[in-house]
Amino acid sequence: MELVKLTIDGQEVQVPAGTTVLEAAEQLGIHIPRLCHDPDLTAVGACRLCVVEIEGMRNLPASCVTMATDGMVVRTNTPQIIEARKTILELLIANHPLDCLSCEKLGDCKLAEYCYQYGVKESSFINPEKHSYEVEDNNPFIIRDLNKCILCGRCIRACAEMTCNDIIDFSYRGFKTKVGPFGDTTLAESDCVYCGNCVAVCPTGALTEKQMQGKGRRWEYQRVKTTCPFCGTGCNFDLMVKDGKIAGVCSNPESVVNGKQLCIKGRFGWDFVHSDKRLTTPLVKVDGKFVPVSWDEAFNTIAKRLGEIKEKYGANAFAALSSARCTNEENYLVQKFVRAVMGTNNVDHCART
């Protein structure tokens, strides 16, 4: 593997060829601000907030798309860079609603975080035009407020590269540029599968989870890492818990299996947890009616009935169908029970085909 050595803010670092300046800085523990960049998506250098100084270059290149080269000398926090970043932030908020106090994303908004970091409280750029898009909430899962969109393109790349659906893209040009499905329709009118991966990568309040609306600020939630129960893939995510109840699900970038990616079931299909129709105890039918019993009574009833069926009709009268929603270990136990206990090979799996 070819290695290159460069210097960033006076510190030397050696990285594989093809590593970007931003990635090299991360290895040194140097954080370079970024809005359009996400490690799970292709780099486009759109927001320009990650600009740096590189000796021998006249302009300030975007570090997320600039490859590190041998002998390169980089500075990430000079007065010129700070001024450039402040200007970029002012340009972004020139047409951005400054309603942070009532914004659902307060506490988890990268734009607000960087404005605070660089002391940007208002914009010196006067824009005679202002976007006044209607908030889109005509679908069950995602709220889109395009007035807060900074056109970073993260959601577009997530839809194309994570979900491989290509539902949304940039429409129109110039000041009228906006993100949306083909024909400038709503998500409800498109072929969106509501995986919510676009929400997971959005750095502002342009995309938020409808189920979590008005339930609390991000810092009020306890994040509980868990595994999705809907299939055997084993995706991990964080349950957002407040006052002992689940308010929603958020991606956990540290998830080994899936990273930020989830499907509609994993991200939005958790509401059954608090359903008043959930069974909380085993039920056994007595005289045509279901009666609550203990687990021991339930297991004894199952064992007794299976034994009676086997004795009366023979082992081959019994069959079992296992599920892809179960783990490999659980499916192994199913087939072992069928063969070793019931004495038949009548076992199949829903995903066998």
pLDDT digit string, tens, across residues 225-252: 999 988 878 899 999 999 999 999 999 9
Give me 189's structure tokens.
């009118």
Beta-sheet pairing, 222-227 with 236-242: antiparallel
CATH of 133-274, one of 3.50.50.60, 3.40.50.300, 3.30.70.20, 3.40.630.30: 3.30.70.20
Question: What is the pLDDT, as a whole number, of residue 129?
Answer: 83
Tokens 């007035």 found at: 147
Q: In which region does residue 287 sit, left (phi positive, over 0), alpha (psi from -120 to 50) or beta (all else)?
A: left
Instruction: Give whole-number Cα distances, 206 to 4, 106, 148, 296, in Å.
Output: 39, 12, 5, 52
Spatial separation of the C-alpha atoms in residues 80 and 59, rounded to whole Å: 11
- Average pLDDT of the residues of the chain: 94
Beta-sheet pairing, 320-322 with 347-349: parallel
Spatial separation of the C-alpha atoms in residues 6 and 223, rounded to whole Å: 38
Is 316 in a helix, a strand, or coil? helix
Q: Quick check: 3 pLDDT over 60?
A: yes
Spatial separation of the C-alpha atoms in residues 302 and 89, rounded to whole Å: 65
Is 188 in a helix, a strand, or coil? helix
Please compute the mean of the pLDDT values over residues 96-104 and round it to a whole number.
Answer: 92
DSSP alpha helix (H) spans, 94-153: 110-117
User: Which residues, in sequence order, are bridge partners of residue 180?
Assistant: 169
Please compute the mean of the pLDDT values over residues 68-84 and round it to a whole number.
Answer: 96
Spatial separation of the C-alpha atoms in residues 207 and 347, rounded to whole Å: 45
Spatial separation of the C-alpha atoms in residues 299 and 160, rounded to whole Å: 48
By percentage, how much of the chain surpasses pLDDT 90? Answer: 89
Question: What is the pLDDT, as a whole number, of residue 351?
Answer: 74
Question: What is the pLDDT, as a whole number, of residue 114?
Answer: 97
- List pLDDT tens digits, range 283-338: 999 999 999 999 999 999 999 999 999 999 999 999 999 987 788 899 999 999 99
Question: Where in the chain are the domains?
Answer: 3-91, 133-274, 283-349
- Cβ-count burial of 287 within 10 angstroms (0-12 exposed, 13-18 middle, 19+ buried)? exposed
Q: Quick check: 353 pLDDT over 70?
A: no
Around Cβ 143, how many Cβ atoms within 10 Å? Answer: 21
Q: Quick check: 128 pLDDT over 90?
A: no
Q: Quick check: 84 pLDDT over 90?
A: yes
Spatial separation of the C-alpha atoms in residues 126 and 233, rounded to whole Å: 51
Question: What is the pLDDT, as a whole number, of residue 9?
Answer: 97
Q: Are 78 and 87 within 8 A, CB to CB?
A: no
Q: Quick check: 117 pLDDT over 90?
A: yes
Q: How does residue 71 score in pLDDT terms, banded at 50, 70 and 90? A: very high
Instruction: Give whole-number Cα distances, 154 to 90, 92, 190, in Å.
Output: 20, 16, 19
* CATH 3.10.20.740 describes domain 3-91: yes
